[in-house]
Amino acid sequence: MSDIVYFEDIRVGDRFDFGPVTVDREEVIAFASRYDPQPFHLSDDAAATTHFGTVSASGWHTTALFMKMFVAEMQKNPGHQAASLGAMGVDELRWLRPVRPGDTLRGTSEVIDKKSSQSRPEMGIVRNRVTIVNQEDKPVLTMIPIALWRTRPD
């Protein structure tokens, strides 16, 4: 495939947008019930006794919504996805404000750093700065994923 985007093709400063996704109340509660069952993620009554005021999505749910949007965007360009080898972690994950049912999220990813792997020459490491915003363009999440990318075969 000549349209595969390999590690060597990625440049610091490359940027792309992804999303949107609208946050569904039933999904917020279902996710929290299963993975983060804190009361303020489960009911408005419980959330009313906290600084949240109303039900808010778990930060982990918001992070999962990032992944949903990001992968959907990657799947629009099979050449990009073909060279992706997963990730080795996330730096500086921050949940900046509550995400509420009905919010519409979208994101931006910008390459901030890349380096060749010293131990695995068939791959490189790419760090992106990701920002997720709500419908009011207010940031709700920032993070720096550390992704692995296939290098161009000889």
> CA 63, CA 148: separation in Å to the nearest integer?
19
Provide the residue range defining the domain that includes 113: 7-23+56-150
Q: What is the CATH number of the domain that holds 96?
A: 3.10.129.10
Q: Which helix (H) or strand (E) holds 152?
A: none
Nearest to residue 16, comparing CAs of 75, 100, 65, 102? Answer: 75
pLDDT of residue 78: 82
Residue 76 maps to a domain: yes
Residue 47 maps to a domain: no
User: Which 3 state secondary structure label does DSSP give 153?
Assistant: coil
Residue 39 maps to a domain: no
Domain count, the chain: 1
pLDDT of residue 69: 97
pLDDT of residue 2: 54
Cβ atoms of residues 41 and 29 within 8 Å: yes
pLDDT of residue 1: 44
pLDDT of residue 77: 85
Residues of the chain with pLDDT under 50: 1
The model carries a pTM of 0.93
> CA 93, CA 98: separation in Å to the nearest integer?
14
